[in-house]
């Protein structure tokens, strides 16, 4: 990364909710390498401890469940000044519209929309002048596939939230949303390796770039969202061309 990014993030406090794995963890590594102080938050203390050891640098950890509003309030009040808030925590449930259990839809909505909504509201008093907020959605928001209608709707809600807050928080914080395509992360670790690689090959082969993404490539977009002071109200598609594929 260039000196411009190093100067922009050096000494800044970056809070990453969902930072114990995947794209959040990759963002933490990049931010630390650029001189930032990082706080990682997620539900699992064990995963946080492992991630902090892997990230290195000046890293604090905080076990936080964003669906626990009381817990989020208490945690946010203890943060101190925050320069950049990144919320990469996610939840995904797939299933045909007529078959997807309502509880599965509620779970996604709580984890990916309501939780981040509350977290931003509670961290807001701690944000410094010129701060940034970065949400995560996903390509399904604008190009859903069969069996993903619920997840697509939740992603679309996150994008609408980012754009609305970019207006409401004008002068206080910039707000953007990262919309990744399929990325090779721990999210698919439970799949048998052969099935996982076949999925990556099938999806990647349909994309203009010819492959699925990496967590580091998405992290680069998050760094852009944090450091470009002319960027707000934007959905950044980091999807290998998913939205324009045949």
22 to 28, 99, 172: CA distances (angstroms): 10, 29, 29
> Following CA atoms 79, 49, 175, 107 in sequence, which dihedral angle do they give, to the nearest 10 degrees?
-110
pLDDT reading at 6 higher than 70? no
pLDDT for the residue numbered 76: 98
**How open is the CA angle 12-48-177, to the nearest 5 degrees?**
55
Question: How many other CB atoms sit within 10 Å of the CB of residue 17?
Answer: 26
Mean pLDDT of the chain: 94
Q: What is the pLDDT of residues 15-60, one digit of tens each?
A: 999 999 999 999 999 999 999 999 999 999 999 999 999 999 989 9
Mean pLDDT is lowest, of 81-85, 144-148, 239-243, for: 144-148
Q: What is the pLDDT of residues 162-186, one digit of tens each?
A: 999 999 999 999 999 999 999 999 8
Q: Which residues are CB-neighbours of 25 under 8 A, at least 6 positions away? A: 19, 40, 51, 54, 55, 215
Share of the chain above pLDDT 70, in %: 98
Region 152-166: what's the mean pLDDT? Answer: 97
pLDDT reading at 190 higher than 90? no
Please report the domains of the chain, with CATH numbers, ordered by start residue.
Answer: 3-238 (3.40.50.720)
Region 66-72: what's the mean pLDDT? Answer: 96
pLDDT for the residue numbered 4: 65
Q: What is the pLDDT of residues 88-115, one digit of tens each?
A: 988 888 889 999 999 999 999 999 999 9
User: DSSP assignment of 54-88, as one string?
Assistant: HH-SSEEEEE--TT-HHHHHHHHHTS--EEEEEE-
């Amino acid at each position: 990364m260039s000196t411009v990014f190093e100067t922009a993030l050096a000494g800044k406090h970056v809070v990453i909710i969902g930072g114990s794995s995947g794209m959040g963890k990759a963002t933490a590594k990049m931010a630390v390498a650029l001189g930032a102080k990082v706080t990682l938050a997620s539900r699992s203390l064990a995963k946080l401890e492992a991630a902090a050891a892997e990230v290195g640098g000046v890293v604090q950890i905080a076990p936080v469940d964003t669906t626990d509003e009381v817990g989020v309030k208490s945690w946010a009040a203890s943060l101190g000044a925050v320069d950049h808030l990144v919320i990469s925590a996610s939840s995904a449930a797939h299933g045909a519209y007529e078959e997807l259990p309502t509880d599965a839809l509620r779970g996604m909505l709580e984890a990916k929309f309501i939780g981040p909504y509350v977290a931003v509201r509670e961290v807001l008093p701690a944000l410094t002048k010129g701060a940034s907020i970065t949400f995560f959605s996903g390509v399904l928001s604008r190009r859903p596939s069969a069996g993903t209608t619920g997840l697509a709707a939740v992603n679309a809600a996150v994008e609408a939230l980012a754009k609305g807050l970019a207006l409401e928080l004008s002068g206080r914080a910039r707000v953007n949303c990262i919309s990744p395509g399929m990325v090779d992360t721990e999210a698919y670790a439970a799949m048998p390796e052969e099935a996982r690689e076949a999925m990556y090959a099938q999806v990647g082969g349909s994309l203009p770039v010819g492959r699925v993404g990496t967590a580091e490539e998405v992290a680069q977009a998050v760094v852009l969202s944090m450091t470009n002071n002319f960027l707000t109200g934007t959905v950044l598609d980091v999807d290998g061309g998913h939205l324009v594929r045949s």
